[in-house]
C-alpha cells in the first residue's frame, strides 16, 4: 500500500513565477526517484500557497528522497522561495 505525502508551502510574495522554472527542472527528478509514484502541484494564487501532493511507496522512500535533496542542495534552493519550511504530512488511504 502506498502513502500520500502533502507538503504545504508558503511561497514568498512575488516568488511563484521565479519558482516555476525550478519546479519544471526538478519535478522530473522527484518523479524518477525510487519509490515515487506521482507528484502534483497545486497553487492558491490569492494566498501564495503551494501544495505538493505526492504518492510514495513508503514513508521511508520519501524520507530517503528528502535526505538526498538535503545533501545535494535542492532542498536549500527550494527553501529560498518559501517564507517557512514546508509543512509535511503523511496519510494512509483508508478503505471505507
CATH number at residue 81: 3.30.70.100
Q: What is the mean pLDDT of residues 12-30?
A: 96
The DSSP output letter for 34 is T
* Torsion-angle region of 14 (φ positive above 0: left; ψ -120 to 50: alpha; else: beta): left
Predicted confidence band at 93 (pLDDT cuts at 50, 70, 90)? confident
Question: Is 56 among the domain residues?
Answer: yes
Count of structural domains within the chain = 1
Residue 55 bridge partners (DSSP): 4, 38
Tell me how far apart the alpha carbons of residues 65 and 44 are, in angstroms, rounded to a whole number.
Answer: 25
Q: Say what the pTM is.
A: 0.92
**29-42: pLDDT as tens digits:** 999 999 999 999 99
Average pLDDT over residues 39-66: 97
Range of the domain at 66: 3-91
Residue 22 lies in a domain: yes
Residue 96: inside a domain, yes or no?
A: no
Mean pLDDT of all residues belonging to the chain = 96
CA 30 from chain centre, in angstroms, equals 9
Amino acid at each position: 500500500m502506498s502513502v500520500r505525502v502533502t507538503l504545504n508551502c508558503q511561497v514568498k510574495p512575488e516568488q511563484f513565477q521565479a519558482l516555476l522554472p525550478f519546479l519544471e527542472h526538478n519535478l522530473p527528478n522527484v518523479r524518477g526517484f525510487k519509490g515515487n509514484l506521482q507528484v502534483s502541484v497545486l497553487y492558491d494564487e490569492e494566498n501564495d500557497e503551494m501544495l505538493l501532493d505526492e504518492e510514495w511507496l513508503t514513508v521511508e522512500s520519501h524520507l530517503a528522497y528528502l535526505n538526498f535533496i538535503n545533501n545535494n542542495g535542492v532542498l536549500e534552493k527550494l527553501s529560498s522561495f518559501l517564507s517557512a519550511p514546508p509543512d509535511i504530512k503523511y496519510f494512509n488511504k483508508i478503505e471505507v
